[in-house]
Every structure is written in C-alpha cells, then in structure tokens.
Amino acid sequence: MDYLMYHGIPSTTIIGTSVLWNGHDIVEVVVYSGRALVEHFVYCGMTEDEAHEHIHFNMIGACVDRAQPIIVWETDVEDIGL
C-alpha cells in the first residue's frame, strides 16, 4: 500500500497506521508521534515553540489529501476530562 508521508521526516517518528472513514472511502493513514516530531525539529535547530508552530501550521494545516497522516499527542486521561 502507498501511504502519504511527510517528506524529510525520519521514519522513527512514525508510530503506526490507522484506518479512517473519510466520508466516501475507508483509508489507511500513517500515524506520527507529535512528541517525536517536536524532538526531531528541536534536534534540527528549532526551539520547542517553533517546532510546535511548524507542526501545526505546515503539517497539520497543510491538509493536502484525504489520506493525510495523523499526528498523535500523548496525554493523560485526566487531562482530557475522562
């Protein structure tokens, strides 16, 4: 299967795949770790705030395809009110 992936991002930031219903089809997408992406961009010279901004604006905000990768941010259940 061909997956849409972010160019130039190390495969070590990928944590798996997910199956989604996009309204018309079932698609399988790549899932990235948000924390690992931040660490990668900090390693490349960005501050942590710059890394977050880059991820939200240039990766999440790009929305280039209905099979766009997912970025997962780990959190504690208490933090989301469950």
Domain count, the chain: 1
Q: Has residue 5 been placed in a domain? A: no
Q: Has residue 81 been placed in a domain? A: no
Placement of tokens 């299967």 in the chain: 1
Placement of tokens 């900090």 in the chain: 42
DSSP track, 4-65? ---TT--GGGEEEEEEEE-SSSEEEEEEEEHHHHHHHHHHTT--HHHHHHHIIIIIITT---
pLDDT along the chain (82 residues), means of 10: 90 96 88 98 98 95 84 86 72
Tally of CA atoms within 13 A in the half-sphere of 6 that contains its CB = 25
Query: Residue 75's pLDDT is what?
Result: 87
Q: Has residue 68 been placed in a domain? A: yes
Query: Residue 48's pLDDT is what?
Result: 98
Query: Residue 57's pLDDT is what?
Result: 95
- What's the domain range around 68? 11-74
Query: Residue 63's pLDDT is what?
Result: 76
